[in-house]
Structure 1
């Protein structure tokens, strides 16, 4: 058992216990603990308390203090060092404001840096509008708490020494800021949107800028740094559309920095973003779709292909269809539930939600007889499969329409991956699964359906989306338009 020496000392009219011991490396360690007893008339009580503390004190536990989360250390410091001092000595806000802030950070005492403290004060100034006096009070309390850790050899130096709680002039690395911004966005956007941000920021943006050590102020003064990143990615072979996605992340992050006063302008607004590449999708004609429908019969992707080609459903909408979305009595299909895949914490995860891509995507479509017949057949097959498989049948997805023979829901990625392979195997023109949706729109347009009606059928939120994507697809309609007006041309203009 470790021998713990101790003695009393007077400080600010109070008795304080000073404990001393050697750690496992043979180094002398000390710890000061307030007795909470005034010097006058309490010497014997203080000596008794010292002997009791020496007997119960466990140095091994104390050596692990630096590994404690900052929030736990602050609570412990409040209990051990200031609980017996007058209430006005330390404000109640330390436990009400400072401790909860660091609880969210999951930061250990030994990992606490000046930048972490600067971020705390900046947050309180800008987000919580703390007064100067509050900032100074918290700075004083944190200074005392961290000095206590230094006095007890839990920290070598106090990280708060050079931190000014009232100034914003401390440099912040761009990579640190965009990483913190990403964490903030996690609770503000859809998980699928967040994972898209995460892929770009964690795997592309931060790795590029981290070795360069640019601060937010560097980025503001030199927008070319952002331009250089875009060019670097384009030179690596990335598409302009991918780099535009990176630009959106960077711009949104720097706009937040501008809004909270950390920079005076958004440098991303002063760069030339790559020109967006227009994607021209391949589509199937009516004849090609007819051929596809015949070939796809009995294939696991049959239901998905038919729903995408006829109703123009997205893959998330196909996989997300539930039996309660089918109104057999009134002959209607409601598109209101989706299933998407996203990487969450590095793991590919399926996310089911009672929400479509946009509000307009939530729509009701007519149930045609051929589709009704197909659904009735699928329902009977599922009931039969459940009887045959017994306990082996998966019961997690009984409310979903699109499941495999064992009851497991079809994955969205299956459609994207299996469909092109099916086309190759059957020597058919290669298109993406999503191009079936484009094929649906093209056929509607070619048959005289208005853009407004196509917009509602496909669930676009903006008619310009419908117009931009689909009006170029059917050249034959333009030929008809030309023929309609050719007869009014002057005779000498006709060929």
Structure 2
């Protein structure tokens, strides 16, 4: 069966099977399907548009009599077309979207599965074919990712049964693969590692232009998206203060490129003011004098081409490369924030200061993460 026109909220999907056009849609929680005969696609699209207009205006004929072909064109309406797994997956995504699943989640999780279903190119009609598809995923993905996808496919199978497309959930009895837990890599950078990292990137022929951005990641404790979105207007050189009130985050579709990023408030919605150390003040003053920004709304840090930094690109190319060159175990850029907060707690013994820098109004989260650094356990010593 060929999908001619995708459906969705308030939309009618058009399918073609052996020259027979079918319309499928949902209205007020109920599914409808209508065979329109061996017609041309143009009048079929016109009928789909009419149904969509009737639904939007509240004049929808739930009996479907006003939409059926005339007597001389009447076709057999007794059997619904059998939809393939790709068409069903599209309908499942539409249903989840209507149920409130975010577009970000759909684009990042469900659409990648749709692409894999298309690459696999087969239908799923039994537990054996479902198992074959899972094995295909495991040959291309990490065990953790494949297990996540199996969980989504089980949910899809339950939906297909509930909607009457399948008699049984072909994925239900399939087992998740055992995953060997890798050692955690979220431990903060040591002071020596920070110094080595910054020395390495400062002299790197390819990535030296990201040195100032990395320096501030380690010294300000901001989220990467907050520093990516930092504007010159947020820096008070007279009082040596930086106001963190917004971020330049990935769009709802998950794209990380500069053109796709969206300006938002901070993750917690809090505004915080950070003092500049002498080194940060000197670095930003020099950067301001060198760049001579034309507007106070210009970004402080940009890519070498002058655009907003693509955090995924930066992490996988620049950051990973510098860690490798410096001989430092890789941790993602976000750990620079964790590093700054850990060193604040270790040097001051104050969870409140770490919470202020982190932008948390409550000490609970900071205490859970960094409380062990405040008072280290003193073990007994019996030697004179």
CA apart distance, 1:243? 1.6
Question: What secondary structure is seen at the aligned counterpart in 2 of 1:354?
Answer: strand
Change (3 A) 1:162 1:439: same
Q: For 2:149 and 2:115, how far apart are their aligned partners in 1?
A: 11
Change (3 A) 1:297 1:347: closer
Query: Which of 119, 135, 143 in structure 1 is aligned with 2:62?
Result: 135
Q: For 1:143 and 1:308, how far apart are their aligned partners in 2?
A: 64
Q: For 2:355 and 2:178, how far apart are their aligned partners in 1?
A: 26
Task: Extract unaligned runs of 5+ from structure 1.
Answer: 1-68, 71-99, 151-157, 387-394
Verify the 8 A CA contact 2:250 2:256 in the aligned structure 1.
no
Matched with 1:419 is 319
CA apart distance, 1:285? 0.6
Matched with 1:213 is 124
**Count of matched residue positions in the alignment of Structure 1 and Structure 2:** 340
The normalised TM-score by structure 1 is 0.52
Verify the 8 A CA contact 1:321 1:402 in the aligned structure 2.
yes
Matched with 1:176 is 87
Matched with 1:290 is 195
Verify the 8 A CA contact 1:326 1:334 in the aligned structure 2.
no
Q: For 2:142 and 2:270, how far apart are their aligned partners in 1?
A: 32
Matched, 1:240 2:240: no
CA apart distance, 1:196? 0.9
Task: Extract unaligned runs of 5+ from structure 2.
Answer: 33-54
Matched, 1:194 2:106: yes
Q: For 2:107 and 2:287, how far apart are their aligned partners in 1?
A: 34
Question: What secondary structure is seen at the aligned counterpart in 2 of 1:193?
Answer: helix
Aligned-residue CA RMSD in angstroms?
5.0
Larger helix fraction of residues: 1
Q: Deviations over 1:389-437 (max 9, x none)?
A: xxxxxx9x95322135764333324422123333445x44242442433
Change (3 A) 1:421 1:232: same
Matched, 1:367 2:275: yes
The normalised TM-score by structure 2 is 0.65
Q: For 1:270 and 1:465, how far apart are their aligned partners in 2?
A: 39
Higher RCO, Cα 8 Å, sep 6+: 2
Matched with 2:227 is 318
Q: For 2:115 and 2:231, how far apart are their aligned partners in 1?
A: 36
Q: For 1:363 and 1:280, how far apart are their aligned partners in 2?
A: 31
Matched with 2:340 is 440
Structure number with greater Rg is: 1
Change (3 A) 1:161 1:363: farther
Matched with 2:76 is 161
Question: What secondary structure is seen at the aligned counterpart in 2 of 1:366?
Answer: strand
CA apart distance, 1:301? 1.0
